[in-house]
Amino acid sequence: MTPANLADTVLSAARAVFETRGLDVTLLPAATTVERPRNPEHGDYASNLALQLGKKAGVAPRELATALAEELAGRDGIKSVEIAGPGFLNIRLDAAATGAIAKLVVEAGPAYGRNTALAGQKVNLEFVSANPTGPIHLGHTRWAAVGDSLRRVLSAAGAEVSSEYYINDAGAQVDRFARSLFAAANGEPTPEDGYVGDYITEIAKVITDADPGLVGQPAETALPIFLARGYELMLKEIRESLERFGVHFDVWFSEQTLHNGGAVEHAIEELRKQGHIFEDGGAIWLRTTDFTDDKDRVLIRSNGEKTYFAADAAYYINKRERGFDRCIYLLGADHHGYIGRLKAIAACAGDDPAENIEILIGQLVNLVRGGQPVRLSKRAGNIITLDELVEAVGSDAARYSLARSSTDSTLTLDIEEITKNSSDNPVFYVQYAHARICSLLRNAEDKKISRGDDYDPALLSHEREKNLLKTLNQFPEVVATAAELREPHRIAVYLEERVATDYHRFYDACQVLPKGDEPVSEFAQSRLWLVEATRTVLANGLDLLGVSAPERM
């Protein structure tokens, strides 16, 4: 028995108690959990299973806890079980059982932390989805970091995830983009509602360098060409920026295909079958107020023009028809009003909005240097771009800093703080723990000291060793919780506050390698297993955030 299967051991003991007492075993849950007590003096792990089952089984919880404690006391690896309060079980493991977690982690390697909490779920995860009319800016960058980390975490929890970028290539914004390029190419002022920034001039120059004859052509002739080529160049730049940031999308979905391919008309027919379409004033409407939306929504105006909402409805139905059980949208703070209308679309389509659609809203990001706002970008006019952020701080610092905080609150990044080579900088603190371990392992190799194929787990009995082992054991649970709650920042918090901190404390208290001519300690081999297990968890956790685990710093 190891800490990894302690919950199963507790449940097995409960089954034995129920069978011995003739109680209804169908009352037992399919699975249970054990937790680390806040106060270490209360034991290594705690379970409230007796409290959960006592009333259902018609047995006083403390009486049931007493029977469970007696049953558990005879199981391998359990040192003692104490009963607290009305029926809590405080469990202490022997050193060998706790120490065995190091081997489990090392042998699992990159797979350690992966679990089946979301197995069987097919998820469509849409994020960033910036208009192809300008570079990826700082707000989009936060969603790029968080969205890609969430993709990794959901996959690690067993879900089948498809990441998707929705290209808003239909509507007025692309027309304004084309007119802005046309004006720049012909030396005219930017249209009043056009896009500004050096990138417009750059793209216009690339287009006219390839086709000089475009300059001076009438707008009706040149605009479609500027639109097609400008769109292609801008989308290529967006893809390349995201790829350099370590963000890959499985699907790039064009809004225009919904209009060109009949998907909007198909969606309207599907919604009509559900009984929620009506006509008024020559327009086609969706009665979303039936499902808590603040007003009904127009799908097709009286002049035959399709609305953005029509594309939203068609896009959702398209996702569901592609076989996705859950559609997750990651949207910016200015899209808060979309929650009600998107959930109403799902309900009108006959789905359960609580199960089939999920909308996450992220708050804004501010960039400062030494507490002062960073000046606006010259290239993109009034925004800071993804490329400029990465150039200023590096991809690792940018990704970690953007993903380590809850998206519910506005985030302020200080360039000086997130590039410091000190323990005050969270990304440095975690990466340094990994690099420090790699340095120790290189020293062990130089000294011809190997952890070998096996070790004595009972030797890992120091309090700092036990704390570190229990922390490593929590990783799969942390991943599962981060996936279930859609909160990848929990991985960063765990790496910082638990793994890196507990490792540094262990390293300061427990000598691993001999100094000078000292003989090799009997603890060296066991501790090298623990060190490698810690390195594995740090590397796996950083990978879930899309951040590198350097071997030297």
57, 104: one domain: no
Residue 41: per-residue pLDDT: 83
Residue 432: per-residue pLDDT: 97
- Of all residues in the chain, the percent with pLDDT exceeding 90 is 88
> How many domains does one find in the chain?
2
pLDDT exceeds cutoff 70 at 509: yes
Average pLDDT on 260-270 reads 96
Residue 100: per-residue pLDDT: 95
* Each residue's pLDDT tens digit, 194-222: 998 899 999 999 999 999 999 999 999 99
11, 104: one domain: no
pLDDT bracket for residue 1 (50, 70, 90): low
103, 49: one domain: no
CATH number at residue 541: 1.10.730.10
Q: Is residue 37 part of a domain?
A: yes
How high does pLDDT run on average in the chain? 94
Output the CA–CA distances (angstroms, integers) from residue 485 to 117, 157, 411, 481, 490, in the order listed.
12, 12, 20, 6, 10
Average pLDDT on 309-315 reads 97
pLDDT bracket for residue 16 (50, 70, 90): very high
75, 109: one domain: no
458, 494: one domain: yes
pLDDT exceeds cutoff 90 at 371: no
For 203, residues 6+ apart whose C-beta sits below 8 A from its C-beta are 181, 230, 233, 234
Residue 380: per-residue pLDDT: 67
CATH number at residue 81: 3.30.1360.70
- 259-296 CB burial, b ≥16 within 10 A, e <16: beeebbbebbebbeeeebbeeeeebbbbbbeebebeeb
110, 70: one domain: no
Which residue, of 93, 125, 157, is where some domain finishes?
93
Average pLDDT on 223-246 reads 97
pLDDT exceeds cutoff 80 at 377: no
57, 110: one domain: no
Q: Is residue 63 part of a domain?
A: yes
486, 461: one domain: yes
**Both tokens assigned to 208:** 């006219």
* Each residue's pLDDT tens digit, 59-85: 999 999 999 999 999 899 999 999 999
Tell me which residue range forms the domain holding 41: 3-93
pLDDT bracket for residue 378 (50, 70, 90): low
Residue 291: per-residue pLDDT: 95
Q: Is residue 205 part of a domain?
A: no
